[in-house]
Amino acid sequence: MTQTMRAGRLDGRRVLITGAGSGLGLAAAKLFAQEGAALALLDRDAPGLKAAVAATGGHSFELDVTDEKAVQEAVAAAAKAMGGLDGVVNSAGIMCGDKVIDTTLETWNRVLAVNMTGTFLVCRAAIPFLLQRPGSSIVNIASGQALLPGLTGGVYSASKAGVMMLTKSLAIELGPHVRANAVCPGAATTPMGNAALASMDDATRAAFVKRYALGRLSEPEEVANALLFLTTDEASSVTGIALAVDGGRTYH
């Protein structure tokens, strides 16, 4: 029997979302707004951020998540504007499909800076506010490649594995007051995912999609549903997990 989704699952919750200007972050922002959340949206993409705010009514903060001072100021300003924080979703991230042997130090540093350090900086800045709200939550977007690496993209896999273990550490440190979970998406029909597919020839693309048990990429809204669940009180007993939402790529 199909269960009907209840409206207002985030009524009264105040959630900060990074990478909200596109992709999974934008899908989460739209869904969370529909479910009643007040939102603070962070992104370095000014046009994307403007469109996200227009779609959700959230507060906007344009910044690079690797900028420690900017992150601290934005999180504090978001908490002040909304009267506190009940949740954080870290979606900001960048992709690198190079093999390890072909990865420059500059690329390595940038991928880790955005994917790992940016997540750390936002979590660290938000924790004092989250601790004031028992039952609050952190959801970090890791990747299916943190669970099962691909043939290339070793730096990306390493950065997302770091996000996954950071999340588990936060669950231990912050319990019982704050829950912390990771979502590990597979490839999705986001601008990042579509660009990766477009760079492949037909045979490579077909082989890539065949690795997924469902035979397709995830839609951003499907991943956003997992982010929503982990942010609601429905997941009140869930912390420290890395939830694969990847169409079955990592089931084996």
CA distance linking residue 13 with residue 35, whole number of Å: 10
Average pLDDT of the residues in 180-197: 90
CATH H-level superfamily of 14-244: NAD(P)-binding Rossmann-like Domain (3.40.50.720)
207 pLDDT band (50/70/90 cuts)?
confident
Which one is predicted more confidently, 7 or 140? 140
Which one is predicted more confidently, 101 or 206? 101
Which strands make up the sheet holding 136-141, listed edge to edge?
A: 59-62, 38-43, 14-18, 87-90, 136-141, 178-185, 242-245
Three-state DSSP at 112 gives helix
The answer to whether residue 212 is catalytic is no
Q: Which two tokens stand for residue 153?
A: 């993209």
Per-residue pLDDT at 1 exceeds 60: no
Q: Where are the domains of the chain?
A: 14-244
Per-residue pLDDT at 12 exceeds 70: yes
pLDDT per residue as tens digits for the range 216-231? 989 999 999 999 999 9
Per-residue pLDDT at 24 exceeds 80: yes
- In one-letter notation, the amino acid at residue 4 is T
Strands (E), the chain: 14-18, 38-43, 59-62, 87-90, 136-141, 178-185, 242-245
pLDDT per residue as tens digits for the range 56-79? 999 999 999 999 999 999 999 999
Q: Which of 61, 120, 129, 156 is catalytic?
A: 156
Q: What value does the mean pLDDT of the chain take?
A: 94
Comparing C-alpha atoms, which of 243, 112, 63 is closest to residue 167? 243
- In one-letter notation, the amino acid at residue 134 is P
Percent of the chain exceeding pLDDT 90 equals 85
Average pLDDT of the residues in 142-162: 95
205 pLDDT band (50/70/90 cuts)?
confident
Q: What share of the chain is helix, strand, coil (3-state, %, to 5)?
A: 50, 15, 35
